[in-house]
Homo-oligomer: A and B are copies of this chain.
């Protein structure tokens, strides 16, 4: 909690938007010398606050414009059942997120697909074969109003 200060937060805010900024420019923007700034970034990486760097891609250009959310209820709450389900879930291609939700042992999955036909194929090939499923409900996103991974610090 007290392991990151306000300057760290400024650094992280910049790096979330521009993960490839040069250390020299980053240092300028947070009013530090290059070496002091460099040491802070290294420390944040070592602490695991920065887990890595990623290129952000345009889904549309790559033929995955469609986001689908799938809600799944399992037939029970036994640990074995959940483990088997989760193992199978991890094998689904283009599955971006899977959350175990509070309440009724529901899972919420987020997938990105080419089109409805592509989703039908994924459904047949993967979703319909998931073990221990009692109920499943899929919802398509018509339009994404906002989508980011950047935390506000």
Query: Which A residues contact B (CB, under 8 angstroms)?
Result: 1-4, 12, 15-20, 47-64, 67, 69, 86, 89-90, 93-103, 106-108, 112, 139-153
> Are A146 and B19 interface neighbours, CB within 8 A?
no
How many subunits of this chain does the assembly comprise?
2
Instruction: State A103–B97 Cα separation when bound (angstroms).
Output: 22
Residues of B within 8 A of A67 (CB): 99
> Are A98 and B53 interface neighbours, CB within 8 A?
no
> Are B16 and A100 interface neighbours, CB within 8 A?
no
> Are B64 and A151 interface neighbours, CB within 8 A?
yes
Instruction: State A36–B112 Cα separation when bound (angstroms).
Output: 31
Residues of B within 8 A of A3 (CB): 61
A141-B99 contact, Cβ under 8 Å, with A48-B58, A62-B49: yes
> Are B20 and A102 interface neighbours, CB within 8 A?
no
Contact of A56 among B97, B140, B149 (CB under 8 A): B149
